[in-house]
Amino acid sequence: MFCSKKKSLEVERIVKANDREYNEKYQYTDNRIHTCKYNILTFLPINLFEQFQRVANVYFLFLLILQLIPEISSLTWFTTIVPLVLVVTMTAVKDATDDYFRHKSDNQVNNRQSEVLIDSKLQNEKWMNVKVGDIIKLENNQFVAADLLLLSSSEPHGLCYIETAELDGETNLKVRHALSVTSELGADISRLAEFDGIVVCEAPNNKLDKFTGVLSWKGSKHSLNNEKIILRGCVLRNTSWCFGMVIFAGPDTKLMQNSGNSIWENQVGDQFRTFLFWNEGEKNSVFSGFLTFWSYIIILNTVVPISLYVSVEVIRLGHSYFINWDRKMYYSGKATPAQARTTTLNEELGQIEYVFSDKTGTLTENIMTFKKCSINGRIYGEVHDVLGQKTDMTKKKEAVGVSVNPQADRTFQFFDHHLMESIKMGDPKVHEFLRLLALCHTVMSEENSAGELIYQVQSPDEGALVTAAKNLGFIFKSRTPETITIEELGTLVTYQLLAFLDFNNFRKRMSVIVRNPEGQIKLYSKGADTILFERLHPSNEDLLTLTSDHLSEFAGEGLRTLAIAYRDLDDKYFKEWHKMLEDANAAVDERDERIAGLYEEIERDLMLLGATAVEDKLQEGVIETVTSLSLANIKIWVLTGDKQETAINIGYACNMLTDDMHDVFIIAGNTAVEVREELRKAKENLFGQNRSFSNGHVVFEKKQPLELDSVVEETVTGDYALIINGHSLAHALENDVKNDLLELACMCKTVVCCRVTPLQKAQVVELVKKHRNAVTLAIGDGANDVSMIKSAHIGVGISGQEGLQAVLASDYAFAQFRYLQRLLLVHGRWSYFRMCKFLRYFFYKNFAFTLVHFWFGFFCGFSAQTVYDQWFITLFNIVYTSLPVLAMGIFDQDVNDQNSMDCPQLYKPGQLNLLFNKHKFFICMAHGIYTSLVLFFIPYGAFYNVAGEDGQHIADYQSFAVTMATSLVIVVSVQIALDTSYWTIINHVFVWGSIATYFSILFTMHSNGLFGIFPRQFPFVGNARHSLTQKCIWLVILLTTVASVMPVVAFRFLKVDLFPTLSDQKRLSLHKVAHCVEFISSGCFLSLWVSFVSRSASGRRLKRRQDPCVGESLRPGDQAREDLDMLLLTKRAMESLSHLEKICELKIHPRHQGWKRHCIIALAGLKIYVRKPQTQ
């Protein structure tokens, strides 16, 4: 492996069938795969090399080397090597376990059996022994062993069906077809063994949807494309057998090329890691202090211990599991749970400011329903009453085609019977329109056991249109590589398929060229109206105007539209064009450009037929999610390929756009100058016509950097929206205009970009990500969203109707858009809150722990003598204080999940990074410095010239160290108890268990037994027992603890009382609600209220009764006492009800006054109580 020559970079691949000797001279890889990284001999050196590429491990290794130098270090080597070895060992065990499973998987795959044609007969071979150029036989439901050129199959015309779920997550069947010259080989082994074709094709790459090559055989050349290739990882379906020639094997297959190499994530600019690395100070220039300097570097390194890195990863892992386990993000419709595909971005989920969302399949269901169409200037799909007025379509009406078409889909909902009448009357335009829908698509058909047609569709839009044609009498039946068969009003008609001009995101249209039974050649095309209208014949001007109005009407209703057109082709012209297309397909250089040019040439002078309109409903919970995210100050940008009117309608439907907005700016310029002018006018309108842009607050200059000051946005009052189409966006993204675009867009509440390409989506995200100091998130469901998802800081994939390509490229994945609200407002906010709290406490306790050495230096001549026992230094961060802070970092919460959802404003501190920044860091440092001063100087002052209870001197070094260590453990444990907002049984066990663990280890290490075994390592024999049995020591520990903690308690009490945060206010309100509701729900309140109402209503004295609140019988003679109790309890009840009315924000009708009003408030409080918001 290490001795093999490095293979030169491949430019193109040349493969000859059935000739291993010929192919071996190119040194192609075999079919064995290696996803594992190590073996028994290489594991230790490679793994250690990988681990010590990390800055933290190198830093601690450097400290270890310094500690091995006696002249420098006053600490023994084990204080650093124990935690370092522990971390390295844990990581190595994890890596070894992962690699072991990779080995097992590799062996399982490499040893699969496949039938290979060797020496003119089929032989069973292991996958790892398959070579490039071999011919393989595949059978139904069998995995494909390598990337194959399909030669022949059991299906007519060399067709075969594959499932590509392993590659792109799509479960819909896809069709592949062999060249006609090779499909004739069939299953004849002798002819297949004689096949000696040579394939010249592209070099190995990771493009799943593209393949270019040429097959040379029997003096002829045949172009190859992706439709002729079956990729490794696919599964053969609904095909008895097929034969294929191996083109790429093993690591060269497209599946393995997409798997990539093992990488280590390195998030550049991660705000938290700013404080995780130790920045060494400038070296002392005085050489005499050189050794002392390095000695204190060793002693003070515990400010940032190696356990910090481990703890951060454990906390992030825990947060990721919480997302995976969240049942409220589980979609039962598809049995799909939420999935955290990374562990390094959880905190950034709590800091999102911009969300970039696709529309179709993300905001909508991507389940298409054919609703309306426009044919030859007439709208079909609207239902009118007897007066000719539009009426709503109801389920009481019978759908078109159900009664007359036995093959009609019973779920089809189209109620305008005028269309069926036009079909029956033989309207040629209507027939041509439906014929186009039945012919121009990529749908595959199959029959189920009941003889019903089942359509396998790659796009929900195609499925809706083909199903509509089926229900209206034009039924797509089957296809072969050369023909398409449809049933036209009961008559089977077979069309010869001459060419297929496929759809892509740049063409935004697809076309087929067919020859009908009469010999006429027709080009049928469908696509985006902006694209097709540019290619219409000039004679369509009137129809174009009418159809454009219909399209605007459809889009205004939120429907997705496509334009429909055709062209009659001359036989001679088509033959010339087809010959040029064959030459282009056979070309190696600039093949795609030549093919695209030929497509453009023939798709012109089209005749307009009309347009289609399909409905894509909003997903459940989209409106609530958008509203909640807007309240959390998250700006939502919609990037969609739909028409502008459709995008606007969806924007209004999901409350991104509202009638309350001050203005909606629409940018639709066709040139850079027009776009710049429209952006300028929009900014003038936004700031006001009379406002100068150079007044010191807002300055718009060409040379101004793209970063915007927050003051600029604060000067904008009111809500605005920006809508821009893809053509204008292309100009707006140019260097001299994108400044204006970014300034305007970032001051708008909502931005909608319509008719945009996948590349433009990524460019918009990159623009905001690069020039705004904000965390971005992109969410989508399809392959066209992958570039956008990868461009944002955080990518979210929705496992919808378009496969799993977006999910595979994402950091987080779930099934519905509404789960984004919970991901951000609950999990994201909690992760940010917990990590910030963890870091603040961690730095506090380590400053308190480490800086004691600094104060001790003034009394030891800065000799680098340590205060604590060296074993205490070793175990402090990895045993005594590790678990409590982990529990807080994993489980803590200021308010529960429901309150986080109900109050989106709680999300804002994360966007402003208020919980952990330089200011907070310095506060933690100051807190730690104060605690270290108290920890050192109180015991020092107490021990100064003091004798113990037994008359002996207690101011020895060992007693002083034990007292300080014990005080430190208790102080930091009390501090974390004060910091913990949400207590679980785990928190209790970890916090109080850590104190117990400390004392257990302390007495063990100071025991006679360990001293007898290791006298040099445990010299503090008997000291713990001697020191901690004296009352004065415990008084010093108590005084130290109180002096450390009380100022913090007083400061926090005053801060919450005088300057409460929104979170504090929420917790206080919930606390008061709980107390008020507890009082209202008690028997005391109920009995009091009954008596109060009775007395108010009748004015009569109460009879003798038992009051559970007073606790004794009320006798007729105790009238004064009874009245006093009634007065006090009624006052308390009124206060509780008044407070509840404010919290519940009740709007009670004026007619409800007196006791009725009070009862309504009490019921509202009880309703809150049932929801159990008790966070504390």
> Which residues have a catalytic role annotated?
358
In this structure, are residues 249 and 132 in contact, taking their beta carbons and an 8 Å threshold? Answer: yes
Question: Secondary structure of 6-26 in the HEC alphabet?
Answer: CCCCCCEEEEECCCHHHHHCC
Exposure class string for 631-648: b at 16+ Cβ within 10 A, else e: ebebbbbbbbbbbbbbbb
Q: What is the DSSP letter of 823?
A: I
Task: List beta partners, residue 903.
Answer: none
Query: Quick one: three-class SS letters along 364-410?
Result: ECCCCEEEEEEECCEEECCEECCCCCEECCCCCCCCCCCCCCCCCCC
Instruction: Bin 1136: left if φ > 0, else alpha if -120 < ψ < 50, else beta.
Output: alpha
Cα 874 from Cα 879, distance rounded (Å): 9
Q: Are 354 and 344 in contact (CB under 8 A)?
A: no
> E-assigned strands of 583-707?
607-615, 635-639, 663-667
Nearest to 1028 by CA among 983, 976, 966: 966
Spatial separation of the C-alpha atoms in residues 1099 and 537, rounded to whole Å: 92
Using CA atoms, how far apart are residues 113 and 197, in angstroms rounded to an integer? 25
DSSP 1007-1068: SHHHHHH-TTT---TTHHHHHTTSHHHHHHHHHHHHHHHHHHHHHHHHHHHHS--HHHHHHH
For residue 758, give both structure tokens. 């996948």
CA distances from 1015 to 11, 511, 677, 957, 1008 (A): 70, 88, 85, 18, 9
Secondary structure element (H or E) that encloses residue 1118, with its range: none
The backbone region for 673, taken as left when phi is positive above 0, alpha when psi lies in -120 to 50, beta otherwise, is alpha
Whether 804 contacts 170, CB under 8 Å: yes
Residue type (1 letter), 652 = Y
Q: Which amino acid is at 658?
A: T
d(CA 77, CA 69): 9
Q: What percent of the residues of the chain are helix, what percent strand, and what percent coil, each to the nearest 5? A: 50, 15, 35
What is the rounded distance in angstroms from the CA atom of residue 829 to the CA atom of residue 835?
10
Query: Which residues on adjacent β-strands are paired with residue 373?
Result: 380, 612
**What backbone phi and psi angles, to 5 degrees, belong to 291?**
-65, -40
Host H or E run for residue 114: strand 113-118
DSSP for 226-275 reads: GGGEE-TT-EEES-SEEEEEEEE-GGGSHHHHHH--------TT-TGGGG
For the chain, how big is the Rg over CA atoms in Å?
38
**DSSP code at position 1149:** -
State how far Cα 536 lies from the chain centre: 42
Task: Please tell me the distance from the alpha carbon of residue 602 to that of residue 1049, in angstroms, as a whole number.
Answer: 80
Q: Report how far residue 1006's alpha carbon sits from residue 985's, in angstroms, rounded to the nearest whole number.
A: 31
Using CA atoms, how far apart are residues 1163 and 663, in angstroms rounded to an integer? Answer: 42
Phi, psi of 519 (to 5 degrees): 90, 0
Q: How many residues does the chain have?
A: 1176
